[in-house]
Structures are given as C-alpha cells and as structure tokens.
C-alpha cells in the first residue's frame, strides 16, 4: 500500500502500550496511594475513554507526580507521563488556585522575593506564618520552603564575572534557571569557577525565562508556552553563534529538550541536541580531551548520589556519577534509584504532603544509615526534600567539583595563564 500522509492521533504512542503493566511497578505514587489509578490506567487506558468523551477524565490523575519513571520503565516507548500531563491540562476545571499560580511563576515570585529576602526567609521560618500559609494557601505548615538569596546570581555575575568572560577562547551558555538565580546563587558561581578554570567563558541569556516546568505541572500550558517560545528564541541565537546551552538543573534541561516538544507542541529539534546538563557537558569535554581537571590533594568526602527522576528520564545520571568518581579523595555511594517524593512543587501542597513523605520514607532512612558527608543530586527540589527530611546536607555535583578542584593547577593543565 502506498504510504499515506496521515495525522497520527494516537498521541504519546498510547496505542503502542502492550499492557505489560511494568509501569505500575515503577510508579512511586501507586505504592503509597490507593486512590491513584496508576500510570497504565491513567495513561494509555484512560486515553481511549477520554477520546470517546472527555467526561471520562478521572480526577485522580491529579496525584501524578510527573516523575516520568513510568516512561523510563516502558519497553514500548509509550509517553505515559506526557499523556497524563496533557490530559490534566486539558480536562482539569476552573481557575488555578493562588498558591498554584505562585508556585508556577517561580521567576516572578523569585525576583520579588530576593528583594526582601532577609525578612522573607525569617518569616517563612516562623511558625505562625507557616500556619497562616497552611490555612490560606494550603501550603503545608510542616514543609520547609527554600530560602531566597539576597543577591540574584545574575546580579552577582554582572558585577563580578561578566567582564572577564570574553578572555576565554571557548564559551558556553549557562541556563541558570530560577533556583540558581533566586535561591542558590552559589551553584551558579561554582559553575562559573569550574568552567573558567578549564578555559570556558560563561555567557548568560539576557532574555532567559523560567523553563516552564512548574507551569506545565500546574497545567498552565499557555503561560508555559509563552516562556518556552522566548527561551527557544534565545537558545537559537546562542546555538546559531556556535555555543552549547547547559543547565545545572536536570528538570530545566529536561523541560527544554523534551517537554517543549511533547507537552507544548513546540518544534525544538534544531537546538535540542545542543541543550545539555552541566555535568554531562564537562564529562564529555574531558572524554574528548578538550579539558583537564586537577584536584586538591587534601580533598576528602564521602558522598551518596541520589538519582533525581528527571535526570533518570534524560538517561544522564551516568555523567554526574562518572564525574564525581573522577574526583580524587571522593568516595561515591549510589542510592537506589527512587523518587524522593518532592516532584517540584508537588510536595509543597498540603494535600500532597503525606504522600510526598511516604514516597521518600525509605530513601530518607537509607541516607541516614550511610553516614555520608553529603548527598549529591542534580535536582534542586530533591535537595530541598532530602535536607528537610534527613540530617544530611545536599549538594549539586558542580558544588562538589568546585570545592574539589585545584583552580591554579587546573588552569595550568589547560594552558591558561
């Protein structure tokens, strides 16, 4: 038969599901929540009914964490998480709650919050205020919210780093994302330190917006699309000038590469392969012999690596762990690959708090039993969850790398003055 031009409406490959049910084994939510129908029922099975009549949409789909572990486990390439996310965005009714809008607009909230950071951080720690937020905004009072920085990463960069970046022969563009910018500028500073040491100049994109992951998770697709289009235009310019774009947050990288196409329906194939994760970029540059690292002789650290959901979906945890293994004096332990329960802003919400903690419970116990100096992970919200739920500090692999390298020796190795 002649090949037909066709619009295949079995979106997300839901028809490729062979009902093997493996995804239900890997779903962290299904294990702790009997009201969640599970990825198979909520995804491929439910999709047939939603196509029949949207009224068959099951409200229990709101429990989905968007961790995409179902997709990683699927042997048939069904984009289960995408199917659920789209069904949610299309069918959940009504205007989003104020809380969800606040959580989704991380960049807007962040830019305001950093201005009043000292006051805000203290306020967020006070019990009465957390109680009030629980009542008014349904943000669980037991949850410790991320602290805001007093100086944004971008401000620091403009003041302290921008001028010297042009000295380097090679350059790379850093997609810092909201977290590094508003909450943890140290991560951005550490990345600049490492990249500069190996001879890469760092560029930022002036028009960078939030990657949109939080908006996608809250079903605010039109706002996410607006941000995504802006970001893609910026990224295209950078890629056009021959630079790669790297992120420190695995969720940002995942959103830019996959969610833009699969959830927002934007065509990003021209730049997709140029978007990477910081650890992956550094590892591959080393592998090709483009850069070299020298480490401090006195560095000693026992680290447990936590596999964040979205880095597992990207398939890139191997780069972070391999990079960490290269560090002399670092003992690396691998935690079992499991969700910590935070899932971005999911665990902040009062109605999800108990599920969130139940999902992570065994992970937290495991971490406590290891006696490590810190946990390493590429995801900022996992960091928040693990730090809140255990006594262990959590660092990004880049933080650790920055601490471990001998800057002078590294510069020398890379023929820099």
Q: Give the binding site for another protein (CB under 8 A).
A: 1, 3-10, 14-21, 37, 40-41, 44-49, 51-53, 55-60, 76, 93
Radius of gyration, alpha carbons of the chain = 21
Q: Which is nearer to another protein, 55 or 127 (CB)?
A: 55
Quickly count: other Cβ atoms within 10 Å of residue 35's Cβ.
10
Q: Which is nearer to another protein, 5 or 415 (CB)?
A: 5
Q: Which is nearer to another protein, 57 or 307 (CB)?
A: 57
Q: Which is nearer to another protein, 93 or 297 (CB)?
A: 93
DSSP helix/strand/coil, 171: strand
Q: Which is nearer to another protein, 55 or 297 (CB)?
A: 55
We find the least distance from the C-beta atom of residue 67 to another protein, in angstroms, to be 21
What 218-224 contacts at long range (C-beta under 8 Å, 24+ apart), as own/partner pairs, is 218/96, 218/100, 218/101, 218/103, 218/104, 218/345, 219/85, 219/88, 219/89, 219/92, 219/96, 220/89, 220/96, 220/100, 220/101, 220/104, 221/89, 221/263, 221/264, 223/104, 223/105, 224/263, 224/264
Q: Which is nearer to another protein, 48 or 393 (CB)?
A: 48
We find the least distance from the C-beta atom of residue 92 to another protein, in angstroms, to be 10
* Burial degree of 336 (CB within 10 A; 0-12, 13-18, 19+): exposed
Q: Which is nearer to another protein, 95 or 163 (CB)?
A: 95
The CB-side HSE value for 405 (13 A sphere, CA atoms) comes to: 26
Concatenated DSSP letters of 214-257: HHHHTT-HHHHHHHHHHHHHHHHHHHHTT--EEES-HHHHHIII
The pair of structure tokens assigned to 316 is 């890139």
We find the least distance from the C-beta atom of residue 14 to another protein, in angstroms, to be 8
We find the least distance from the C-beta atom of residue 157 to another protein, in angstroms, to be 48
Q: Which is nearer to another protein, 22 or 333 (CB)?
A: 22
Cβ atoms of 370 and 305 within 8 Å: the answer is no
We find the least distance from the C-beta atom of residue 51 to another protein, in angstroms, to be 5
We find the least distance from the C-beta atom of residue 71 to another protein, in angstroms, to be 17
We find the least distance from the C-beta atom of residue 21 to another protein, in angstroms, to be 7
Cβ atoms of 251 and 68 within 8 Å: the answer is no
We find the least distance from the C-beta atom of residue 16 to another protein, in angstroms, to be 6
Helix and strand numbers (H, E) in the chain are: 26, 8
């Amino acid at each position: 038969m002649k090949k037909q031009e066709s619009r295949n409406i079995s979106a997300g490959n839901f028809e490729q599901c062979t009902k093997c049910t493996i995804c239900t084994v890997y779903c962290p939510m299904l294990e702790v929540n009997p009201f969640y129908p599970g990825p198979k029922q909520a995804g491929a099975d439910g999709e047939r009914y939603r196509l029949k009549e949207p009224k068959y949409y099951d409200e229990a789909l709101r429990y989905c964490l968007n961790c995409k572990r179902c997709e990683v486990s699927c042997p048939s390439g069904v984009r289960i998480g995408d199917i659920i996310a789209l069904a949610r965005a299309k069918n959940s009714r009504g205007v989003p709650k104020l809380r969800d809008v606040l959580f989704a607009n991380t960049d807007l909230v962040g830019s305001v919050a950093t201005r009043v950071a000292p006051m805000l951080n203290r306020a967020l720690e006070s019990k009465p205020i957390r109680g009030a937020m629980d009542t008014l905004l349904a943000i669980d009072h037991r949850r410790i919210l991320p602290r805001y920085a007093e100086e944004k990463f971008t401000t620091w960069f403009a003041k302290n780093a921008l001028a010297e970046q042009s000295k380097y022969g090679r350059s790379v563009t850093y997609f810092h994302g909201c977290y590094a910018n508003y909450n943890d500028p140290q991560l951005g500073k550490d990345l600049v330190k490492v990249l500069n040491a190996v001879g890469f100049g760092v560029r930022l994109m002036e028009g960078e917006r939030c990657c949109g992951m939080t908006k996608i998770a809250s079903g605010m697709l039109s706002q996410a699309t607006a941000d995504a289009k802006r970001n893609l235009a910026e990224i295209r310019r950078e890629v056009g000038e021959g630079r790669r774009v790297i992120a420190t947050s695995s969720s940002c990288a995942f959103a830019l590469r996959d969610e833009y196409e699969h959830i927002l329906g934007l065509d990003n194939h021209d730049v997709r392969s140029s978007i990477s994760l910081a650890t992956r970029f550094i590892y591959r540059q080393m592998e090709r012999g483009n850069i070299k690292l020298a480490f401090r002789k006195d560095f000693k650290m026992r680290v447990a690596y936590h596999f964040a959901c979205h880095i597992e979906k990207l398939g890139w945890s191997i780069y972070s762990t391999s990079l960490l293994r290269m560090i002399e004096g670092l003992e690396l332990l691998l935690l079992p690959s499991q969700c910590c329960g935070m899932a971005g802003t999911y665990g902040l919400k009062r109605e999800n708090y108990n599920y969130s903690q139940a999902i992570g419970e065994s992970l937290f116990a495991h971490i406590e039993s290891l006696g490590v100096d810190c946990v390493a992970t590429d995801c900022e919200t996992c960091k928040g969850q693990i730090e809140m739920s255990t006594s262990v500090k959590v660092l990004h692999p880049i933080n650790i790398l920055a601490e471990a390298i001998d800057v002078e020796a590294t510069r020398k190795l890379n023929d820099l003055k």
